[in-house]
């Protein structure tokens, strides 16, 4: 089954919602360097890991 058909969106580009990042944050020590090589500055992962969104 293709995800785009299930979501009825017409494409396969989906984004991780902010609430799904919360459980990960407790496992990342403060001051850690996190690479997100395939994300843009608008990515919620980038924003959360850089302190842009808390």
- Each residue's pLDDT tens digit, 1-41: 565 566 666 666 778 888 999 899 889 898 888 898 888 88
DSSP symbol at 19: H
> Across the chain, where does the E strand assignment appear?
none
Output the pLDDT for position 4: 56
**CA 5 – CA 43 distance, rounded (Å):** 24
Q: Is the pTM of this model over 0.75?
A: no
- Average pLDDT (34-49) is 89
- Evaluate if residue 45 carries a pLDDT over 70: yes
The 10 Å CB-count burial string (b at 16+, else e) for 6-29 is eeeeeeeeeeeeeeeeeeeeeeee
């Amino acid at each position: 089954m293709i995800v785009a058909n299930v979501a009825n969106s017409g494409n396969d580009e989906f984004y991780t919602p902010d609430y799904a990042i919360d459980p990960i944050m407790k496992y990342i020590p403060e001051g850690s360097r996190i690479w997100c090589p395939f994300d843009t500055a608008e990515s919620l992962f980038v924003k959360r890991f850089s302190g842009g969104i808390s």
